[in-house]
Structure 1
């Protein structure tokens, strides 16, 4: 295997309309994973970035202005980038989140406020398949 490919940092897209949540992820992620982080604050921008950059993983808020996170996930799972793992980070209750996100094709979800160790575990689990 080409060494430069194996050592490439994963590209993670974080999508949240709350700038404080994005800022928190910018500080938290480098502590749990060596990655390159890009961000979007709405569904339209997220879909554009996914098409342009093809991230290794997406951290998706569910409640977004315009196209909500569930619709973004549904569209992504029907696209040529359907293999990109999506982890929803949501403020919805566990019961509400489970049904909506399962139907959309989401790979995993964490309810806000989430534990940093749980975030680390789920990110590593889903990146392991694409970065062996």
Structure 2
């Protein structure tokens, strides 16, 4: 299966997504903040990133811009956020997010989106 980087400053969300994605057979690495996410991304070059928007230090927008600035094939990014408004979603898309998911979310929806992004090609939207 795929290697997924899960980035969220909330331990409970990181653990939930890690558990659900590992049950689906994916290899999961987690980061608790934006700087750790950038380092993990550069070291791992995962197949997909599930990225929280609001984090202390480097936020999800900053991480997304760094990811999109990397050479090579773009890695799909699913943004997670409690700030589910049009302005935030528009900014995420401008910065290169593939999907924008509002918290609270259904873990199976994230799994479904991930599978669509990895195995069916580009999709863009809001959940």
Give TM-score scaled by structure 1 length.
Answer: 0.84
Determine the C-alpha separation between the residues in 1 that align with 2:72 and 2:64: 11
Query: What does the per-residue CA deviation read over 1:38-72, in whole Å, with 9 as the maximum and x for residues that have no partner?
Result: 00011111111111110000000001111100111
Aligned pairs for 1:57-96 (under 5 A) are: 57-81=48-72, 83-96=74-87
Which moves more between the two structures, 48-57 or 86-95? 86-95
Q: 5+ residue gaps in structure 1?
A: 1-8
Pairwise mapping of residues 2-41 of structure 1 onto structure 2 (< 5 A)?
A: 9-31=1-23, 33-41=24-32
The number of aligned residues is: 121
Segments of 4+ in structure 1 off by > 4 A?
A: none
Q: Report how far residue 37 of structure 1 moved.
A: 0.5
Change (3 A) 1:102 1:69: same
Equivalent residue, structure 2, for 1:124:
115
What does residue 101 of structure 1 align with?
A: 92
Give 5+ residue unaligned stretches, structure 2: 122-127
TM-score by length of structure 2 reads: 0.87
When Rg is computed on C-alpha atoms for both structures, the one with the higher figure is 1
Alpha-carbon deviations, 1:91-127, whole Å to 9, x = none? 1123233122112111111101112332122100111
CA RMSD of aligned residues (A): 1.7
